[in-house]
A and B are shown apart, each in its own frame.
Chain A
Amino acid sequence: MSKAIENISAERIAYLKKMKVRRIATWILRLLIVVLLFASWEIAADLKLIDSFVTSQPSRMVKTLINLYTNGNLLLHIGVTCLETVAGFIIGTILGTIVAIVLWWSEFTSHVLEPYLVVLNSLPKVALGPIFIIWIGAGPAAIIAMALAISLIVTILEVLNAFLQTDQDKIKLVETFGANRLQVFLKVVFPSNIPAMINALKVNVGLSWVGVITGEFLVSKAGLGYLIVYGGQVFHLDLVMTSVIILAAAAALMYQGVVLLQKKLSGGWFNHQP
């Protein structure tokens, strides 16, 4: 390693320096955009260029945030929404993968069910909301069901599609050793599709958020979606804006979590790709 450093050419040093400057500049500009946005928003509201009653104002959002926090409600609302999302995400992923495995296993079943999957996939799942509320009751369970409804079918289709596109010759290879269907799945189909499945997870996180917020819009007593709807109904835009920004932060964090998981899971052979 140290030997490599000694052998670095002048061009290489210049190149590395250039890349470093570029990286720093990128981050400064990114920060600048958000600071400028909020600053001009604040000033425009102060100068009455915009009506802060309908647009809210960063300083008022901070006050709302502190208020929520001192009431002890902030963490409750964030917690409820995150919990529902994580539950929907995990159940959706596991259930979706299991159904995909069953459909992969039996080509006939998959062929029989194909039109139903197509219909369910194109149906706007929000329409199912009232049904869930009546069947399951107005509570977190109905909201998780909503998240599932939105993410499940997509997961099934994505994972099944990946399974079906496994290299047939790799399957033939293990079959020449006498592999049965379970071994074909465990030795070839599952491991060769881990990257595809993680990509499905990434899509799934986003869909779970959509499902949970939709569910909370329809029926809820707590959660960020509840705050947004409630704030809208009483024309309390500070609450709406604050909640949206918290939501954005939480969703971004969870997405990063999946990206981290991807790096960890595929750490071994993924790094050895040419």
Chain B
Amino acid sequence: MSKNIVEIQNVGMKYQSINGEINAIENISFSVEKGSFVSIVGPSGCGKSTLLSIISGLLKPSSGKVFIDGEEVTKTSDKVGYMLQKDYLFDWRTIYQNVILGLEIRKNLNPENKDYALNLLKTYGLYDFKDKYPSQLSGGMRQRAALIRTLAVKPEILLLDEAFSALDSQTRLAVTEDIYSIIKNENKTAIMVTHDISESISMSDRVVVLSKRPAVIKNIHQIVFDCPNRTPLKCREHPSFREYFNLIWKELDVHV
């Protein structure tokens, strides 16, 4: 049996403000196996991103605990890499300078890590663009550069927070394919938050469905496709894709 790299135990979060208290998430527990891909879906505003921020250590939960590799999360961990909704490459830095940002902040900018970053750029076809500025790259390339920036600090777990939502739908499919293959190639564990049911099914081994606020876990689906070398696009064409989709769609109980 594979080892659980992330353990989330009874996590709850209440936001305080002058106007009152918001109960964002309640009593969430699940675990993530090493090397697997887990998605969290739920209605918008249900606290999905809050959950991700708690796992990363950016936010302290009001109750419950998160463990990474058996250690309780109290601050941002070096084992975790985070990808945000947009690439947020800095305009004033070249692609290479952007990619080594995390190393700079963690004060790990040694020759070995620089080489590692350059190799990632080589492997994923951005080496020739390393001295260009972000505005000179296409949306898909920028997203890839953002992923390399995250990978450069050698995280074991990737947290993707609606990481593709800023892209148009065609680019989104291509970038999903691209990022998925990089994550699998680098053998990373991934936890992704999305509002897109198809995206979550096409990429994940497990889908966690959350209710509306205060979010609790409605169900956790094992996603199994009997297709070798699965990719998100292949999954979308698989006959059982529809079944999973309908199941989760009903569970989400979307009303207009």
Q: Which residues of A contact B75 (CB under 8 A)?
A: 178
Specify the chain B residue showing the minimal Cβ separation from A174: B105
Whether A272 contacts B136 by the Cβ 8 Å rule is yes
Q: Which residues of A contact B76 (CB under 8 A)?
A: 175-178
Minimum C-beta distance from B92 to chain A (A): 4
Q: Is A72 an interface residue (CB 8 A)?
A: no
Q: Is A169 an interface residue (CB 8 A)?
A: yes
- Within B53-69, the residues touching A (CB, 8 Å) are 56, 58
Whether A177 contacts B92 by the Cβ 8 Å rule is no
Of A172, A191, A268, A273, which is within 8 A of B84 by CB? A172
Q: Which residues of B contact A178 (CB under 8 A)?
A: 75-76, 78, 105-106
For A177, A192, A194, the residue with the greatest tally of chain B CB atoms inside 10 Å of its CB is: A177
Q: Is B85 an interface residue (CB 8 A)?
A: yes
Taken together as a complex, chains A and B put the C-alpha atoms of A192 and B88 apart, in Å, by: 12
- Within A164-190, the residues touching B (CB, 8 Å) are 167, 169-170, 172-179, 183, 187-188
Q: Is B44 an interface residue (CB 8 A)?
A: no
Specify the chain B residue showing the minimal Cβ separation from A180: B105
Q: Which residues of B contact A172 (CB under 8 A)?
A: 58, 84
Specify the chain B residue showing the minimal Cβ separation from A184: B105
Taken together as a complex, chains A and B put the C-alpha atoms of A187 and B89 apart, in Å, by: 12
Whether B104 contacts A272 by the Cβ 8 Å rule is no
Q: Is B93 an interface residue (CB 8 A)?
A: yes
- Within A186-217, the residues touching B (CB, 8 Å) are 187-188, 191-192, 194
Q: Is A274 an interface residue (CB 8 A)?
A: yes
Given A192-B92, A269-B133, A273-B91, A177 contacting B86 (CB threshold 8 A): no
- Within A220-274, the residues touching B (CB, 8 Å) are 268-269, 272-274
Whether A187 contacts B91 by the Cβ 8 Å rule is no
Q: Which residues of A contact B92 (CB under 8 A)?
A: 191-192, 194, 268-269
Minimum C-beta distance from A105 to chain B (A): 18
Residues of B within 8 A of A (CB): 56, 58, 75-76, 78, 80-82, 84-86, 88, 90-93, 101-102, 104-106, 133, 135-136, 153
Whether A169 contacts B135 by the Cβ 8 Å rule is no
Whether A177 contacts B106 by the Cβ 8 Å rule is yes
Q: Which residues of A contact B106 (CB under 8 A)?
A: 177-178
For A188, A269, A273, A274, the residue with the greatest tally of chain B CB atoms inside 10 Å of its CB is: A269
Whether A169 contacts B102 by the Cβ 8 Å rule is no
Whether A169 contacts B84 by the Cβ 8 Å rule is yes
Taken together as a complex, chains A and B put the C-alpha atoms of A236 and B73 apart, in Å, by: 78
Taken together as a complex, chains A and B put the C-alpha atoms of A194 and B80 apart, in Å, by: 31
Q: Which residues of B contact A177 (CB under 8 A)?
A: 76, 101-102, 105-106, 153
- Within A136-189, the residues touching B (CB, 8 Å) are 167, 169-170, 172-179, 183, 187-188
Of A176, A268, A269, A274, which is within 8 A of B82 by CB? A176
Q: Which 3 A-B pairs have the closest CB atoms?
A: A176-B82, A272-B133, A269-B92
Whether B135 contacts A273 by the Cβ 8 Å rule is yes
Whether B86 contacts A169 by the Cβ 8 Å rule is yes
Known: A174-B101, A174-B105. 11 other contacts (CB 8 A): A169-B88, A176-B80, A176-B81, A177-B76, A177-B105, A178-B78, A179-B105, A187-B104, A191-B90, A191-B92, A269-B91
Q: Which residues of A contact B135 (CB under 8 A)?
A: 272-274
For A175, A183, A191, A273, the residue with the greatest tally of chain B CB atoms inside 10 Å of its CB is: A175
Minimum C-beta distance from B41 to chain A (A): 22
Whether A187 contacts B84 by the Cβ 8 Å rule is no
Taken together as a complex, chains A and B put the C-alpha atoms of A188 and B88 apart, in Å, by: 11
Whether B91 contacts A173 by the Cβ 8 Å rule is no
Q: Which residues of B contact A191 (CB under 8 A)?
A: 90, 92
Q: Report 9 cross-chain contacts, Cβ distance below 8 Å, ordered by A residue.
A: A169-B85, A177-B102, A188-B90, A191-B90, A192-B92, A194-B92, A269-B93, A272-B133, A274-B135
Q: Which residues of B contact A272 (CB under 8 A)?
A: 91, 133, 135-136
Q: Which residues of A contact B90 (CB under 8 A)?
A: 170, 188, 191-192
Minimum C-beta distance from B139 to chain A (A): 12
Minimum C-beta distance from B247 to chain A (A): 33
Q: Which residues of A contact B153 (CB under 8 A)?
A: 177
Taken together as a complex, chains A and B put the C-alpha atoms of A46 and B92 apart, in Å, by: 59
Q: Which residues of B contact A269 (CB under 8 A)?
A: 91-93, 133
Whether B88 contacts A175 by the Cβ 8 Å rule is no
Minimum C-beta distance from A134 to chain B (A): 45
Specify the chain B residue showing the minimal Cβ separation from A173: B88
Minimum C-beta distance from A273 to chain B (A): 6
Q: Which residues of B contact A274 (CB under 8 A)?
A: 135
Minimum C-beta distance from A190 to chain B (A): 10
Minimum C-beta distance from A63 to chain B (A): 53
Q: Which residues of A contact B81 (CB under 8 A)?
A: 176
Specify the chain A residue showing the minimal Cβ separation from B150: A176
Minimum C-beta distance from A113 to chain B (A): 21
Taken together as a complex, chains A and B put the C-alpha atoms of A170 and B92 apart, in Å, by: 13
